[in-house]
Amino acid sequence: MREEAPVSRVTMPGGGTAWALTRHEDVRAMLADPRFSSDRTNPGFPAFTEGQQQLAARFRKTLISMDPPEHGPARRMVVGEFTVRRMEALRPRIQEIVDEHVDAMLAGPRPADLVRALSLPVPSLVICELLGVPYADHEFFQARSSLLLRRTEPVPRREQARDELRAYLDELVTAKEQDPTDDLLGRQVLKQRETGLGDHTDLVSLAVLLLIAGHETTANMISLGTLALLEHPGERARLDEQPESIPVAVEELLRYFSIVDLVTARVATADVEIGGVLIREGEGVLGLGNSANHDPGVYPRPDELDLTRGDRHHVAFGYGAHQCLGQNLARMELQMVFGTLFRRIPDLRLATPAEELPFKDDSNIYGLYELPVTW
């Protein structure tokens, strides 16, 4: 498609059609253009499942589905929590969390499932401590987040998962409103009072978004990144010798896997030309990040994992106004996990052939359900 018809009309699984953008330049142009809306209740928004629009209409919009003028002030309310400086302050605690989980893995049976031992618990614990959500409830929220993201699950089951997650966070936010704790959600309660912006429902929606986005994404990148590094022992050996090149390697892993490329969908609110094609007001558009990040016009030998590539223009975290709020946190977690895991378990290896691994082909966020490893 990228070569022959880079802006193509496609049929959506939930009904209707949308334009699929496959070139890096076009995806960035679309994501930076305020004439494309993130409003999932708009009838033209690309439908991944039947009933998606009705589901979206049931809840107050949160950051990811807001447009101007609503989006800017809502993002400014929370952006200060995710600055590089704020994230750097979390570094010692994140290192402790990573080390504790590697210790537990080493003390446990072999083979181990890396997803359960490391990929899921590390970012879950980090986001729980940041938000002020009890980690003891991790099985509850991990199971519901995973279900919610799975396209093949019947809509009522996904709705139920979302309702349960919302009810859980509603109760938690209510408790923080009564007694604001020193964590992100507690501080948002105080900020709402100070500024007069936002209310209880807004905060519950934000909590749902941050809890899901904060653990599922990074967890899948930890699993896929570990797999890729295990499959490229030469590249990995170089990282062991030059740990300072880990940040560059992480950018390449983010580009290579582009696990969140279905989220960057929009609907046109005016007639707009992209890549020489006229997209009409009301038509849906998919900014296919994975395709954009494998555009040979931008990345020579795009399907090769080159951990020295050193590119920061990839769209794995999106682009424009909605660019990932948690990217500084995600980068730091990934750098610390890969830096620690291979240093502490140098003979880590797959316990199942790569072709037999259960990849998340059915989820809105790509990844692995399981990654059996041994050492």
Residues 200-229 that bind ligand HEM (CB under 6 A): 209-210, 213-214, 217-218, 221
Give the DSSP H/E element, type plus range, for residue 267: strand 265-268
**Which residue in 227, 225, 177 sits closest to 200, CA to CA?**
177
Provide, rounded to whole angstroms, the least separation between the CB of residue 32 and ligand HEM.
Answer: 11
**Which residue in 184, 185, 167, 168 sits closest to 176, CA to CA?**
185
Q: How far is CA 295 from the centre of its chain?
A: 21
Provide, rounded to whole angstroms, the least separation between the CB of residue 259 and ligand HEM.
Answer: 5
The correct pick among 149, 279, 316, 350 for binding ligand HEM (CB under 6 A) is 316
The correct pick among 325, 332, 348, 350 for binding ligand HEM (CB under 6 A) is 325
**Beta-carbon contacts of residue 237 (< 8 Å; ≥ 6 apart):** none
The correct pick among 20, 47, 63, 307 for binding ligand HEM (CB under 6 A) is 63
User: Which stretch in 174-182, 184-192, 318-326, 335-343 sits in contact with ligand HEM by CB under 6 A?
Assistant: 318-326
Can you spell out the DSSP letters for 212-226?
A: HHHHHHHHHHHHHHH
Contacts 24+ apart (CB under 8 A), 134-138: 137/168
Question: Which residue lies nearer to ligand HEM by CB, 19 or 317?
Answer: 317
How far from each other are the two terminal CA atoms of the chain, in whole angstroms?
42
User: Which stretch in 11-19, 89-97, 140-148, 256-264 sits in contact with ligand HEM by CB under 6 A?
Assistant: 256-264
The correct pick among 189, 324, 348, 368 for binding ligand HEM (CB under 6 A) is 324
Whole-number Å distance between alpha carbons of 9 and 31: 18
**Interface with ligand HEM includes 46 (CB under 6 A)?**
no
- Write out the residues near ligand HEM by the rule CB under 6 A: 38, 63-64, 75, 127, 209-210, 213-214, 217-218, 221, 259-260, 263-264, 316-318, 322, 324-326, 329-330
